[in-house]
Amino acid sequence: MMKDDIERILISQAELERRVAELGAQISADYAGKEPILVSVLRGSYIFMADLTRHIDTFCRVDFMAVSSYGSGTVSSGQVNIIKDLSDSIEGRDVIVVEDILDSGNTLHYLFQLLKARHPASIRLATLLDKPSRRTKPITADYVGFEVPDEFVVGYGLDFDERYRNLPYIGILKPSVYKDKLGLE
């Protein structure tokens, strides 16, 4: 079974639900009377996006973008490729970028430069997870769900080799899973 690959649960389903509701309430207060566009960075943020937006009590729009960072395995490089662009213009609008995890910051540093060039009225970042110990780019999130240690995490949208996104919690994989995949041992 999929769950047998998990060594331990880092953030439970109940903790996720509680914290995402808090973030939604905070965003609702901060954007009262406005109509932000929430931009989900696919694919890792799809579950966070779905849950977060249901806790936002202002009018809001949703849009989606897909980017890939080149680099092998679990480390992202500085290069980012747009695979799917936004459907709508963000010019003059309040944008909230919704991410699964802020790690080195490479992906979001690039993405923010790109989106700012389209002249939104404002742009903020909401990330479910933050791994500040790994940051190499000067970027901080406006809304953070949880700070996590420097371990590779999966679940609640986050994958390892496209698996485990459908776990209802955030977990840490057993080392044997990586080793098998990487052909070690």
112 binds, among Mg ion, ligand XMP, none (CB under 5 to 8 A by kind): none
Q: Which of 11, 9, 8, 6 is nearest to 145 (CA)?
A: 11
Supply the minimum distance, in Å, between the C-beta of residue 44 and ligand XMP: 4
Give, as one character, the DSSP assignment of residue 26.
H
- Angle, alpha carbons 63-146-100 (nearest 5°): 30
Nearest to 27 by CA among 121, 98, 89: 98
Closest CA to 156 of 80, 99, 112, 96: 99
Q: Cβ 104 to ligand XMP, closest distance in Å?
A: 3
The reply to whether omega before 93 is within 30° of 0 (cis) is: no
**Residues of this chain that bind Mg ion (CB under 5 A):** 44, 100
Q: Which of 5, 103, 130, 161 is catalytic?
A: 103
Q: CB 15 → Mg ion: shortest distance, Å?
A: 20
| Residue 103 a catalytic site member | yes
Taking the least distance from each CB to ligand XMP, the nearer of 31 and 65 is: 65
Chain residues that interact with ligand XMP, rule: CB under 6 A: 44, 69, 76, 99-107, 152-154, 158-160
Backbone angles phi, psi at 48, to 5 degrees: -60, -45
> Closer CB to ligand XMP, residue 5 or residue 30?
5
Question: Could you tell which of ligand XMP, Mg ion, none binds residue 152, using a CB distance below 5 to 8 A set by kind?
Answer: ligand XMP
Which residue numbers are catalytic? Answer: 103
